[in-house]
Amino acid sequence: MMKCPYCGSEMEEGVLVSRVVPEWVKKGEKKGTLLNCIKKFTHNELPAQCCVKCKKMIIDI
């Protein structure tokens, strides 16, 4: 279990789900890099930890 770096609460484990693979695009740049999703038949999953209190999410890229 991961603790939230903002409030110290236990973060909820889960996945961010999307049909398309999300891309990280650095500020000021046009070209991005695809994030390392787990590919499923109809969607992609990106492992993530979520703090519902702070509304913050930590994702594995």
Write the DSSP assignment of 4-56 as a string of letters.
PTTT-PBPEEEEEEESS--EE--TT-S--EE--PEE-SS-EEEEEEEETTTTE
> Near Zn ion by CB under 5 A, which window of 5-13, 14-22, 24-32, 37-45?
5-13
**In angstroms, what is the minimal distance from the CB of 2 to Zn ion?**
11
When asked if residue 37 is in the footprint of Zn ion (CB under 5 A), the reply is no
**In angstroms, what is the minimal distance from the CB of 5 to Zn ion?**
8
- Site residues (vs Zn ion, CB under 5 A): 4, 6-7, 9, 51, 53-54
